[in-house]
Structure 1
Amino acid sequence: MSTIREGMPVLVRHEGDWVGTYTIVDNAGNILDKHESHLSCQFPEDSTYPYYQINRYKWANGKQEEHQFPGTYKDKTLFFDTERILGKAWEIDDSTVILWFAYKTAPDMNLYEMIQISPDNNYRARTWHWFKNHQIYQRTLIQEERLR
């Protein structure tokens, strides 16, 4: 059995801190929300979880949120099962990770995220496609760069 570092080399390239902007749009392209982000992607050595992510969000009106996502690993797949979400992520090529997740409080809703990392590992482009009852209703556009 491989470790997460061996089995998911593209994901490992995301290790570190990322800052950027989330822009949420409806199906017509109208902006519904926009906020800043700071994400930390970690691969703890001596931990129950081989992957640990912390998402911090900040809005212009002063609102702030922080969420933690410990992940388990098996067979080239990263799994999340927290109080907030259920999901999994897998690599599809040498620069792309796909994530599927659902909020536990909204069983009729789920989303797919495509995460692309640049060849120099310093920039990410991410898109979320939000579905409710199997119909797309909004998208989240995320542009990030590695915090240096």
Structure 2
Amino acid sequence: MSNPLNKLMPAVLEHAGIWQGTYRHIDSQGQTLDFHRSQVECVFPVEGPVVYIQRNQFTWDDGRVFNVAFDGIIKDDKIYWDTDTFKGFGWVASPNIFLLELERKDEPGAWFYESIVMGADKKHRARTWHWFKDGVCFKRTLCDEHLLINT
């Protein structure tokens, strides 16, 4: 058996593995609101309705650690998520760009649009999130990651 993404959007499978990096949240004036380290694991199961699993661990210099995991399914030829904190979908825009449009459930009225750009070496990626509320961009998230373990 194979994951349906093999046919629907094979480029997204290049994200399989464990990625390490940093997240920097900045306000609309470019001031840092938050900075933390990340470890993101992307898994693509070959059986069942779940086609994508992501497990995140975020760590801060003050010792805080936050772990979260979420699953994605196929809906309308996109990967669809519906978690406690967000819902929305993602699709491949080009062989090296994966786009997401997500509504924040934990922040009423807020949306973010994420682009994940894979480097040519397939071992580095850059992610940017543009956060909107009431039609205005109020925050951005900048992520730089490298592939630690390819699975």
TM-score normalised according to structure 1 size: 0.94
Q: Distance in 1 between matches of 2:123 and 2:80?
A: 25
Question: What's the counterpart of residue 68 of structure 1?
Answer: 69
Instruction: List gaps (5 residues or longer) in structure 1.
Output: none
The residue type equivalent to 2:106 in the other structure is T
**1:81-127: CA deviations, max 9, x gaps?**
11221010011111001011122132310100010001221000000
Instruction: List gaps (5 residues or longer) in structure 2.
Output: none
Question: What's the counterpart of residue 82 of structure 1?
Answer: 83
Question: What's the counterpart of residue 114 of structure 1?
Answer: 115
Question: What's the counterpart of residue 46 of structure 2?
Answer: 45
Q: Indicate conservation of the 8 Å contact 1:70/1:80, yes or no.
A: yes
TM-score normalised according to structure 2 size: 0.92
Number of aligned residues: 147
DSSP-derived class of the 1:10 partner: helix
**For the aligned residues, what is the CA RMSD?**
1.4
Report sequence identity in percent: 35
Question: What's the counterpart of residue 127 of structure 1?
Answer: 128
Question: What's the counterpart of residue 11 of structure 2?
Answer: 10
DSSP-derived class of the 1:147 partner: strand
The residue type equivalent to 2:131 in the other structure is W
**1:3-56: CA deviations, max 9, x gaps?**
112211121110111000001111111111100000000011233311111111
Q: Indicate conservation of the 8 Å contact 2:85/2:106, yes or no.
A: yes
Q: Distance in 2 between matches of 1:8 and 1:116?
A: 15
Q: Runs ≥4 in structure 1, deviation > 4 angstroms?
A: none
